[in-house]
Amino acid sequence: MMKPELIYTTYIRTTPEKLWHAITNPEFTRQYWGGNENVSDWIPGAKWAHISGDEQRAARIIGQVVESVPPKRLVLTWADPADEADISRVTFQIESVDDEVRLDVIHGDFRPGSDMVNKVSGGWPRVLSSLKSFLETGKALKSASCAAKHAATEALV
C-alpha cells in the first residue's frame, strides 16, 4: 500500500520574501492561521512548534526543521504533541513565476495507519486560501479561523 501524499499548489501575488516571512513569522501566522503561531529560529535541526496565540500557548503541532533555504524551501517534521511517534513531513516550496509566487505544500511521509492524514487534509486548503487572501488583501479568511478553533476543540475531546 502506498503512503498518501497531499500536494497543494497555489499562486499568490506577493514576493518570495514576503511569503517566507508569512510562513515563519509568528505575528503573520497568527493573522491567517486561526490565531496560531509558528515558532522557531528556522535553522536545520532546530525545533519548531505551531502554538495557540492565546494565553495558554498550547502546542498544537511540533517538529524539527529539516531544511531551511530562505526564501525558497522549508522542510519540517510534523507531529501531534499527544502522539509524537505519528510523525510526517511538510515541505514548503516557493518559486517566483513572473510577478507571482508559486507555493507548493507537500505533506507526506505519513506513518502506516496514521490518523494525521485525515486531520490535515481538510485543514491545508483552508489555511493556504487564508494565507493567499491575507497576503493579497490584508484580510484572512474566517473559515481558517473557524477550522483552527474546531480542530482545537476536537483535540480536547
Q: What is the pLDDT of residues 39-80, one digit of tens each?
A: 999 999 999 999 998 999 999 999 999 999 999 999 999 999
Q: State which amino acid sits at residue 10.
A: T
Containing structural domain, residue 76: 6-156
Asked if residue 52 is part of any domain, the answer here is yes
Asked if residue 148 is part of any domain, the answer here is yes
The confidence band for 19, taking pLDDT boundaries of 50, 70 and 90, is: very high
The Cα–Cα gap between 22 and 19 comes to 5
Count up the domains in the chain and report the number: 1
pLDDT of residue 1: 47
Asked if residue 76 is part of any domain, the answer here is yes
Lookup: cell for 38: 509558528
* CATH number of the domain enclosing 46: 3.30.530.20
Q: How many helices (H) and strands (E) does the chain have?
A: 5, 7
Asked if residue 1 is part of any domain, the answer here is no
Give residue 1's Cα distance to chain centre.
Answer: 26
pTM, whole model, 2 decimals?
A: 0.89
* Count of residues making up the chain: 157
